[in-house]
Structure 1
Amino acid sequence: MTGTSFSRRRLLTAATAAAAGLALNACAGRSLGDYAQVSGQVPDKFARRQRVVLWSAFTSHNAEVLQTIIDGFNASQTDIYCEIQLFPGYTALDSKLAASFAVAQVPDLVTLSDVNWNRYFLAEALEPLSGYFDASFRPDFFHPTFLAEGTIRNEIYWLPWARSTPLFYYNKEIFAGAGLPDRGPKTFTELREWGQQLKGYKHRGSPVKMRAYNGKDDWYFQGSAWAFGGAYSDGMTSKLASEETIAALEFDRAFIHDDQMAYLASDVNGDFASGVAATICTSTGALTSLLKATDFEFGAAFLPEQVQPGVPTGGSGLAIMRNSTKERKQATWELVKYLAQTGAPEWSLNTGYLPVTTSALDSPKIKERNAKTPQYQVAQDQLSRARPPDTMRRYVNELISEMLIVLQKVYSANADPAETLREAVRNLDPAVQRVMPKYRRLVAP
């Protein structure tokens, strides 16, 4: 990758930081309930109902599934109408939401990613939710691992919805042809050894690489860092340049550039489906689409360990905007209850995202699907190893952009992992110092 590309990424990082600053400051001096609702359209037959606006980052098939669920909510009662407004991914939604504070117009319910929601918490823009629960709808209706991730100082701000972890996917046809076991590797060392065994093997007449790397999302490296005993941070103290984190990135560098059995892919799922790559690490949320896209049998396994497991949670959850009217927030809560109790099983069944509620976990249809397609059960079983992102990844928005630069340099240009990570620590220090006062006041124990 050229220096020009890195400069452009830094410009994008600066723009993201500006939007973050807008979100962090926009609520100051405003009273609760004085933000207008964003504009939209209400069908005539719903004109007399309380309107609730849901901002969604889902596209294509997942957007259709969500619309079907919301149509069910609108048909289930006569008091509330939910309008979905779609955005092409979390970044687009995040930019629009940050800007909406400047004009004091906000949606009511938002699908915020596992890292972006923390920034809006620091902005004091999210409604505390613990007080909304009652005997008919309790916090323990949600999976405890995911519920805890949205809880700060014993108060719930972010509820699970489209949650996932990465899985290790492998092409059974390639593994059998190369004499590899029909399972995932137990360690990264074993993965590299298998890569050596695969060298020279051709699948359907074409050479095969052992692994395709995703350089568009640092989520996967977060897990690898843990597996090697490293981390992004301990609290707000950076661990990016620790010996263990460097070792994790050095493994990737060597696998790609020394062994030449892995590579940086532009589309890991597409390369796996076409047989170019024997293995990938990608989201559990991609399982359904991979089953449709492949013409071969593939396995799903836990992520490789090294000195310990390294499984990060990901995806998104639901947050209610704090600066709304009491009437809108109460109506939004009725929507949340419907999504958790009625919509969650349908959502998990039709998208591949992990079940996040007891109603979804106990769904006969989901149990039947898992028995028929065991890869889904592997995803649920691995959840026992999962953990939320490190603190700096949650609260320092620039960290993700900086890590994408790091991964691109190492994966594409064979840069030295130690120096690249040390440079990232230096670049991130101003952002850490900017966030620290809010973090200490609202989050730190």
Structure 2
Amino acid sequence: MKSATRRTVLAAAAAFAAAITAGAAQAKTQVMFYYPIQVGGPLTQVIDGYVAKFKAANPDIEVQPVYSGNYIDTTTKSLTAAKSGKPPTVAVLLATDIFTLIDEDVVQPIDDFAKTPEDKAWIAGFMPAFLKSAQVDGHLWAAPFQRSTAVLYYNKKAFAEAGLDPHKPPTTWDDMVKAGKAVLKKDDAGKTTRWGVGIPGNVGSAQWLFGALAAQNGARLMNDAGTEAYLTDPKVVEALQFWVDLSKVHGIHPPGIQEWGTTPADFLEQRIAMVWTTTGNLTNIGKNATFDFGLAPYPGKVSPASVLGGGNLYIFSGAPQAEKEAGFKFIKFLTSDETLADWAIQTGYVAPRDGAWEQPSLKAYVAKTPAAEVAKKQIAVSVPEFSTHENNRTTKALNDALAAALTGAKTPAQALADGQAEIDRILKPYKK
């Protein structure tokens, strides 16, 4: 009898202990974290490592990372989840999504959570150029994370073979055309086996890189308030004409639309000698290139210029308050100088804090890979990416216009005039 009683007591104790353990597990604050992968490399493993490190330091918080496709996929999934009442707590979304997210009333300003002097110092540590793209109406709506500028990758081996100085990348549009013609290769049948330059023009990248082309000609595509576009500015039209002419007139660019996703491979396989893409591809290209290559600032016509890009960390307003507070803590961890320095090394993205560049790990990486600092130096001449209210619709109108010109369906002037008319119609309700 005593034995049976003892077994009953032990079983009850075990059940109680299990209940306590289960209760403790359930008591953990959940943070659902959506993030995209837009560049090459096994980056899901890197994110998993960051999450594990954060969990070790914060055992009361359970972060659930969800790889959600590319940026467009991640934005769509985040908005869908928010509308269904089950939003992510934190998501990495494009900086250009800011107007859409605010208009949809699904995100909460970061400064709602930044209440301590330490929090204020953390905000002050971001580079002003990147903070600007996260600020609207006096609020900070996101924290800069995987930021980038677009840069020129060039094949030094191809330059040397063509009699060009491999240490002198082009600095003007004319220089780029001349270099492109010099490195062009054809087989005995006259088929091009190596193009001079490739600028991705598919949906999702065209508007970004075209922003750089316009800036190089002294123009902007939109105003800071996101209420107007300037596609019919003669300087903007001239920039698109130059892009079209790289193929139609100069013969140094692949015909039609160069795809963003294939551009790194086209460069690595030496099918294109110069490519325009993100600094976020540096680590992938650096690990896989079988030839010596260089990274350079973009050329210009009026003056050299590039465009800022990449993603910020947003907190979704519909998440429970405790989750949002935990999410803010996770955001601060991801954007610490130490983590951003490592993320820059692992990906090639530009660390958006000056303090990250002072970390011994990133200093050592830059010393070994000087190209990594090209993007940082280019920030001073980089403009914001195209972003307006109703951004998905206006960006589609711009991309449609660019595609029409690049494929020869319309002249650059007509394509941009049509795009401007559509954007004017879309943005009419937002003009004061």
Find the partner of 1:72 among 53, 78, 87: 53
Q: Distance in 2 between matches of 1:110 and 1:376?
A: 26
Deviation at 1:358, TM superposition (A): 4.1
Q: Contact (CA 8 Å) 2:185, 2:192: kept in 1 or not? A: no
Q: Contact (CA 8 Å) 1:115, 1:395: kept in 2 or not? A: no
Secondary structure, in 3 states, of the residue corresponding to 2:247? Answer: helix
Whether 2:283 is the aligned partner of 1:294: answer: no
Q: How do 1:3-402 residues align onto structure 2 when only pairs under 5 Å count?
A: 46-58=25-37, 61-133=42-114, 134-137=116-119, 138=121, 139-182=123-166, 183-199=168-184, 207-216=193-202, 217-218=205-206, 219-235=208-224, 236-263=227-254, 264-266=257-259, 267-341=262-336, 342-392=338-388, 395-402=390-397
| Residue aligning to 1:27 | none
Instruction: Compare 400-409 and 175-184 and name the one that shifted more.
Output: 400-409
Q: Distance in 2 between matches of 1:351 and 1:194?
A: 28
| Residue aligning to 2:17 | none
Report the aligned-residue RMSD: 2.3
Whether 2:431 is the aligned partner of 1:431: answer: no
Amino-acid identity (%):
22
Secondary structure, in 3 states, of the residue corresponding to 2:239? Answer: helix
Secondary structure, in 3 states, of the residue corresponding to 2:65? Answer: strand
Secondary structure, in 3 states, of the residue corresponding to 1:105? Answer: coil
Unaligned stretches of 5+ in structure 2? 1-21
Secondary structure, in 3 states, of the residue corresponding to 1:55? Answer: strand
Encode CA deviations 1:255-275: one digit per residue, 9 max, x unaligned.
Answer: 111121112433211111111
Q: Distance in 1 between matches of 2:372 and 2:23?
A: 41
Encode CA deviations 1:298-339: one digit per residue, 9 max, x unaligned.
Answer: 010001111133311111010111223322221111112221
Q: Contact (CA 8 Å) 1:241, 1:418: kept in 2 or not? A: yes
Q: Contact (CA 8 Å) 1:257, 1:414: kept in 2 or not? A: no
Shift of the 215–391 alpha-carbon distance from structure 1 to 2, 3 Å rule, reads closer
State TM-score, norm by structure 1.
0.83
Give the count of matched residue pairs: 393
Secondary structure, in 3 states, of the residue corresponding to 1:415? Answer: coil
Q: Contact (CA 8 Å) 1:65, 1:351: kept in 2 or not? A: no
Deviation at 1:287, TM superposition (A): 0.6
Q: Distance in 2 between matches of 1:45 and 1:65?
A: 28
Deviation at 1:391, TM superposition (A): 4.6
Larger radius of gyration: 2
Shift of the 336–199 alpha-carbon distance from structure 1 to 2, 3 Å rule, reads closer
Corresponding letter in the other structure for 1:155 = H
Runs of 4+ in 1 over 6 A off after TM superposition: none
Q: Distance in 2 between matches of 1:269 and 1:78?
A: 40
Q: Distance in 2 between matches of 1:292 and 1:199?
A: 25
Q: Contact (CA 8 Å) 1:167, 1:283: kept in 2 or not? A: yes
Corresponding letter in the other structure for 1:383 = I
Unaligned stretches of 5+ in structure 1? 1-42, 441-445
Deviation at 1:200, TM superposition (A): 5.2
